[in-house]
Chains A and B, each alone.
Chain A
Amino acid sequence: MLGRGLKRKLSDYEENMAGLSSAFDSSRSLPYPLKRQLVLNMCLTKLQTYKMLVEPNLHRSVLIANTVRQIQEEMRQESNQQPVNICPGIASSSHSYTGMESSAISLQLPSGISQQESNCCDLRSVEDPIENSLLIVSDDDMSSAISSILKDLDFVEDISPPTCLVPTGDDQPKFPENAGLKLEDDRQDLKGAECVFGSFEISNSTSYLKDLAIDDIFEDIDTSMYDSDFCCPPLMPPRSPSLATEEPLKNFPSCNSSSASNIQICRTDLSELDHIMEILVGS
């Protein structure tokens, strides 16, 4: 329940805004920066109000945001130029815009404002109460107000698929399936993402390498002679020796195990191997 005092203040605010707008419309003597400030404040008030709605009107929000940007740009250009002798009283104050707090301001509009002469200095008595009520807004506040409004509008879960996982360009129709829920689209997105990165994997060309164990690769290469003196037993029984040497080869133990007890056997094997080699080479 609104307290009576607060309600009166709000309706005062509305009346004063209406009064200010009609002053804007009817008075030729309001200086331009003041008019601009008034419009800016109205824009920001509206944006703040929309922000409190569950579903702000996108069309209106965009139009108001554009107006704010336009004013912002204009003010930025002005401040970049040489300082213009603007009317005293419209100095940039340290106030920052605080949105709904402005509703607590009480205005005292001088009654004769629409009849004022278009002379800046004469308006000083008029400006001050107005200027006190119009809060000067910083650039950052404006930008953040716009950004947050538009970002909030994006909260609306989008049911159409995002543009281009595959480069659609101009020749592929977009099929927004009426899945309805973003969950499904997320799944599709993930699948799509996988597809995109799937093409970068080398799995297709080199899969046979992955499938084989290291042992299998070197199956037919006997590196026992090049192994260390401590001798790892050859990984596999060598297959290359000719028939003439088969008999002594049979005496070789199975080379599968690599236990330490095989070291003795290895040494014996090696000397006999040397012997066989001598025979083979015919030395």
Chain B
Amino acid sequence: EFRRFSLERSKPGKFEEFYGLLQHVHKIPNVDVLVGYTDVHGDLLPINNDDNYHKAVSTANPLLRIFIQRKEDADYSAFGTDTMTRKKNVLSNVLRPDNHKKKPHIVISMPQDFRPVSSIIDVDILPETHRRVRLYKYGTDKPLGFYIRDGSSVRVTPHGLEKVPGIFISRLVPGGLAQSTGLLAVNDEVLEVNGIEVSGKSLDQVTDMMIANSRNLIITVRPANQRNNVVRNSRTSGSSGQSTESSLPSSTPNILANLLHGEEESDEEDIIIEDSGEPQQIPKAVPITESLESLTQIELLHESTQNGFLPSSEMNLNHSAGSISMEFEVQDPEQKPLEEDGTIITL
């Protein structure tokens, strides 16, 4: 269903009133629904308390596009960074609601309420001593906030232990993205930047690479503190746990996939202003079949019709108190893995 109504921007009122209004407008007084909206970056973000409701209204330009899903059928993964550009995933989930039944939602502290700021990826292919961290700079105002330096590390080589030059994290800016994730620490050795090994590269080169990739930065580190490593429940974990490998396992396909994904994103970020008009994103020269418009319409067709109430929690976008790390297990082999599978979401 598709509804259009107006709100007074200056006095949006409380979230509960708005929630009631939605239920009223859609005539679904007793259905639990998830309310979401698309922000200026095209991300689908939740509305479930006064704060994010006010934020949503204030960013409306001038139209505020609201998505309502029945809570039981809700696709939590639809929320968050880049959701609107990852059309296919959203689309398939929305189009085949039976998928949701199969997908086990181990809901841990409402991931749908948050926007991811970082994730640990490729846990399955990396040695346990390494950690591959993805920082989502996009959409946040927070600085990346870290510094790197030259240093030396000890490697196991066929000729025994050998001291080799390396790049290390030297400082974390308080309140910066890097520090708030809790996944990076001072003296962690940087091994790769977006899939490219840094060995043999100068500090300036690595700096340039990181800055060039800053919109989608994936760093592989060997944490200085090895005690918090993820212990896999695979059979091999015991044997490989303590070994220090001299080079990373070949994980090129995965990395390339990540990189390609990253490219897709940044490609559409360039902006064109024609004849001093409104800034627009520059489209790809090859036309894309599914546009944002079609997606919206499909979403609306699947609006929920049940009533319900969402527990309103004290939340903040990019909230980051502490670093409780949790792991998602991908158990459904048929499920097409999403980008965030195997993700650790940091609160």
A and B part of one assembly:
no
Report which B residues bind A (CB closer than 8 A).
none
